[in-house]
Amino acid sequence: MKLKILIPILTFLLVGTLHSQTKPADTRGYIVEVGEQAPDFTMTLIDGTTQKLSDLRGQTVMLQFTASWCSVCRKEMPHIEKDIWQAYKDKGVVVIGVDRDEPLKKVKAFTKQMKVTYPMALDPGADIFGLFADKKSGVTRNVLINKEGKIIFLTRLFNEEEFETLVERIGEEVD
């Protein structure tokens, strides 16, 4: 009798333990994982053109989720401009800043103030952001997507070591 009760309990505990070990919780707010296909979407760039993520297949793509009010974003953007965009834009790498829920006029002014030349896109309602991370979580974050459309690296905030690893991963993709 005791064995009939004990076996289901042990099975439940074992399965729960194995499940928790195979997929650790993401404490950074992402709802996507490295190795997954990036969700597809269409974005409007600040020059008025539209761009569908899936149309960029064959290129390495980095999405930088940002906002003008984000001090960490402001710290990171010059590094993205110099170390990623200027270094790799002629090698098949596309960088797109995705500005979280701000109007066109503000995003244009922000882009000019930050002296970034990589394309910037609007994200009304943070709908694009919400495909990658919980909308309650914050920017800055970068999503690196390979030529096949799979997510290969995720960053959160601006950590110099993590940023260097991001740059290295981009270099590996273009070699």
Tens-digit pLDDT profile for residues 24-46:
446 689 999 999 999 999 999 99
Q: Is the CB of residue 164 less than 8 Å from the CB of residue 56?
A: no
Ordered domains of the chain (ranges, CATH): 27-174 (3.40.30.10)
Q: What percentage of the chain exceeds 70 in pLDDT?
A: 85
Q: Is the CB of residue 158 less than 8 Å from the CB of residue 152?
A: no
List % helix, strand, coil for the chain (3-state, nearest 5): 45, 25, 30
Q: How far apart are CA 79 and CA 86, in angstroms?
A: 10
Give me the chain's average pLDDT, please. Answer: 89
Q: Give residue 158's pLDDT.
A: 95
* 22 pLDDT more than 70: no
Strand ranges in the chain using DSSP code E only, listed in sequence order: 42-45, 50-52, 60-66, 93-100, 120-123, 141-145, 151-156
Q: Say which range, 18-27, 54-63, 70-79, has the weakest mean pLDDT.
A: 18-27
Q: Give residue 28's pLDDT.
A: 86
Q: Give residue 19's pLDDT.
A: 39
| Residues 6+ away with beta carbon under 8 Å from 38 | 32, 53, 61, 132, 143, 145, 149, 150, 151
The mean per-residue pLDDT over the stretch 84-110 comes to: 98
* 6 pLDDT more than 60: no
Cα torsion 121, 160, 28, 166: sign: positive
* 15 pLDDT more than 50: no
* 16 pLDDT more than 60: no
* 166 pLDDT more than 80: yes
The mean per-residue pLDDT over the stretch 83-92 comes to: 97
Instruction: pLDDT band for 175, please (50, 70, 90 cuts).
Output: confident
* 107 pLDDT more than 80: yes
Query: Residue 46 in 3-state DSSP?
Result: coil
